[in-house]
Chain A
Amino acid sequence: MLDVLSDTVTLSRLQFALTAVFHMLWPVLTTGMAIYLVIVEALWLKTRNITYYHHARFWTKLYVLNFGIGVASGLPMAFQFGLNWAPFSEAVGDFFGTLLGFEGTMAFMLEASFLGIMVFGWERVPPVVHFLSTVLVAIGANLSTFWILTANSWLQTPAGGFFANGKFVVQDYFQAIVNPFMINSFLHMFFATLETALFVIGGISAWYLLKQRDGEFFSRSFKIVLVALILVAPLQIVLGHWSADQVYHYQPTKLAAMEALWETIPANTPADWSLLALPNQQLETNTWELKVPGLLSYLLELKPALDTPILGLKHWAPQDRPQMVGMVYYSFRIMIAIGVFFVVLMLVTVLAWVRGKLTPAALAQNKWLLWSWIFAGPLGYIAVECGWMVRCIGRQPWLVYGELRTVESASHVPPGVVLFSLSGLMVMYAIFFVVTLYFGQKIIQKGPDLTLPVPRTALQPTLVTEPARHVPDQRPVEASQS
Chain B
Amino acid sequence: MQPLEPLHNFLPQVWFFILGLFLFLYVLLDGFDLGVGILSLTAKGEERRTILMTSLGNVWDANETWLVLMGGSLFGAFPLAYATILNALYLPLVLMVVGLILRAVSFEFRENAEHKMVWNITFGVGSFLAALGQGFALGTVFEGIKVDEAGHFAGGMWDWLTWHSVIVALTLIQGYVLIGSTYLILKTTGELQNTYYRTATIATWTTLAGAVFITVTTPILWGHARELLFSRPLVYVFAAIPVLGVLLIIALLRSLQLRQEVAPLVYTFLIFALSFIGLGFLIFPNIIPPSVTIYEAAAAPSSLVFMLTFVGFLIPILLGYNIYNYAVFRGKIVVESQ
Verify that A and B bind, or say they do not. Answer: yes
Q: Are A79 and B71 in contact (CB under 8 A)?
A: yes
Q: Does B167 contact A (CB under 8 A)?
A: no
Name the B residues within 8 Å of A68 (CB-CB).
104-105, 107-109
Q: Does B321 contact A (CB under 8 A)?
A: yes
Nearest neighbor of A472 in chain B, beta-carbon distance: B331
Q: Does A347 contact B (CB under 8 A)?
A: no
Main secondary structure of the interface of A (DSSP, over half): helix
Q: Are A428 and B71 in contact (CB under 8 A)?
A: no
Closest-CB distance, A252 to chain B (whole angstroms) = 30
Q: Are B310 and A102 in contact (CB under 8 A)?
A: yes
Q: Are B331 and A98 in contact (CB under 8 A)?
A: no
- Taking CB atoms and an 8 Å cut-off, the chain B residues in 48-81 that contact chain A are 50-51, 54, 57-59, 61-62, 64-66, 68-69, 71-80
Nearest neighbor of A69 in chain B, beta-carbon distance: B105
- Taking CB atoms and an 8 Å cut-off, the chain A residues in 435-451 that contact chain B are 435, 439, 442-443
Q: Are B101 and A428 in contact (CB under 8 A)?
A: yes
Q: Does B159 contact A (CB under 8 A)?
A: no
A-contacting 9-mer, from B87-95, B192-200, B205-213, B251-259: B87-95
Q: Does A183 contact B (CB under 8 A)?
A: no
Q: Are B105 and A114 in contact (CB under 8 A)?
A: no
A-contacting 9-mer, from B175-183, B218-226, B276-284, B298-306: B298-306
Q: Does B334 contact A (CB under 8 A)?
A: yes
Partner of B83, one of A93, A98, A105, A424: A93
Q: How far apart are the CA atoms of A466 and B300 in the complex, in Å?
A: 51
Q: Are A468 and B51 in contact (CB under 8 A)?
A: yes
Q: Are B75 and A100 in contact (CB under 8 A)?
A: yes
Name the A residues within 8 Å of B329 (CB-CB).
116, 120-121, 124, 470
Q: Are B328 and A439 in contact (CB under 8 A)?
A: no
Name the B residues within 8 Å of A76 (CB-CB).
97, 101
Chain A 454-482 per-residue mask, 1 if CB under 8 angstroms from chain B, else 0 = 00000000001011111111000000000
Q: Does A175 contact B (CB under 8 A)?
A: no
Known contacts A69-B105, A97-B299; A115 and B61 CB within 8 A of each other: yes
Q: How far apart are the CA atoms of A67 and B58 in the complex, in Å?
A: 13
Partner of B303, one of A64, A94, A106, A469: A94
Closest-CB distance, A86 to chain B (whole angstroms) = 4
Main secondary structure of the interface of B (DSSP, over half): helix
Name the A residues within 8 Å of B318 (CB-CB).
105, 109
B-contacting 9-mer, from A300-308, A311-319, A373-381, A411-419: A411-419
Q: How far apart are the CA atoms of A442 and B109 in the complex, in Å?
A: 11
Q: Does A270 contact B (CB under 8 A)?
A: no
Q: Are A97 and B108 in contact (CB under 8 A)?
A: no
Q: Are B331 and A473 in contact (CB under 8 A)?
A: yes
Q: Are B331 and A470 in contact (CB under 8 A)?
A: yes
Name the B residues within 8 Å of A125 (CB-CB).
328
Q: How far apart are the CA atoms of A472 and B97 in the complex, in Å?
A: 34
Q: Are A82 and B85 in contact (CB under 8 A)?
A: yes
Q: How large is the interface on A (under 10, 10 to 19, 20 to 34, 35 or more residues)?
A: 35 or more
Closest-CB distance, A413 to chain B (whole angstroms) = 6
Closest-CB distance, B338 to chain A (whole angstroms) = 7
Q: Are A439 and B112 in contact (CB under 8 A)?
A: yes
Q: How far apart are the CA atoms of A27 and B335 in the complex, in Å?
A: 32
Partner of B79, one of A71, A97, A424, A467: A97
Known contacts A115-B61, A468-B51; A97 and B82 CB within 8 A of each other: yes
Q: Does B111 contact A (CB under 8 A)?
A: yes
Q: Does B100 contact A (CB under 8 A)?
A: yes
Q: Does B98 contact A (CB under 8 A)?
A: yes
Partner of B94, one of A97, A421, A443: A421
Q: Are B325 and A116 in contact (CB under 8 A)?
A: yes
Partner of B72, one of A87, A103, A114, A425: A103
Q: Are A78 and B105 in contact (CB under 8 A)?
A: no
Closest-CB distance, A421 to chain B (whole angstroms) = 5
- Taking CB atoms and an 8 Å cut-off, the chain A residues in 293-336 that contact chain B are none
Q: How far apart are the CA atoms of A412 and B69 in the complex, in Å?
A: 26
Q: How far apart are the CA atoms of A102 and B58 in the complex, in Å?
A: 23
Name the A residues within 8 Å of B321 (CB-CB).
110, 113-114
Q: Are A470 and B54 in contact (CB under 8 A)?
A: yes
Q: Does B333 contact A (CB under 8 A)?
A: yes
Q: Does A277 contact B (CB under 8 A)?
A: no
Q: Are A78 and B80 in contact (CB under 8 A)?
A: no
Q: Are B72 and A104 in contact (CB under 8 A)?
A: yes
Q: Are A104 and B68 in contact (CB under 8 A)?
A: yes
Known contacts A90-B80, A467-B338; A417 and B91 CB within 8 A of each other: yes
Known contacts A65-B112, A439-B108; A100 and B331 CB within 8 A of each other: no
Name the B residues within 8 Å of A83 (CB-CB).
86-87, 90, 93-94
Q: Does A162 contact B (CB under 8 A)?
A: no
Chain B 93-127 per-residue mask, 1 if CB under 8 angstroms from chain A, else 0 = 11001101110110111011100000000000000
Name the A residues within 8 Å of B83 (CB-CB).
82, 86-87, 89-90, 93, 411
Closest-CB distance, B257 to chain A (whole angstroms) = 20
Partner of B109, one of A100, A109, A435: A435
Q: How far apart are the CA atoms of A106 and B57 in the complex, in Å?
A: 22
Known contacts A86-B86, A93-B75, A97-B299; A466 and B94 CB within 8 A of each other: no
Q: Does B84 contact A (CB under 8 A)?
A: yes
Q: Does A101 contact B (CB under 8 A)?
A: yes
Closest-CB distance, B108 to chain A (whole angstroms) = 4
Name the A residues within 8 Å of B61 (CB-CB).
71, 112, 115-116
Q: Are B153 and A86 in contact (CB under 8 A)?
A: yes
Name the A residues within 8 Å of B306 (CB-CB).
98, 170, 173
Chain B 293-326 per-residue mask, 1 if CB under 8 angstroms from chain A, else 0 = 0000001101100110011001100100110010
Q: Does A392 contact B (CB under 8 A)?
A: no
Partner of A467, one of B87, B109, B335: B335
Q: How far apart are the CA atoms of A78 and B68 in the complex, in Å?
A: 7
Q: Does B157 contact A (CB under 8 A)?
A: yes
Q: How far apart are the CA atoms of A93 and B77 in the complex, in Å?
A: 8
Nearest neighbor of A469 in chain B, beta-carbon distance: B54
Q: Are A417 and B157 in contact (CB under 8 A)?
A: yes
Q: In this complex, which of B87, B153, B302, B325 has the most chain A Cβ atoms within 10 angstroms of its Cβ? A: B87
16 contacts between A and B (CB under 8 A): A65-B108, A68-B108, A72-B101, A90-B84, A96-B75, A97-B75, A97-B76, A98-B76, A105-B72, A108-B69, A116-B329, A119-B58, A170-B303, A425-B98, A467-B336, A468-B47
* Other 4 A-B pairs with CB < 8 A, given A64-B108, A113-B62: A82-B86, A424-B94, A468-B51, A469-B54
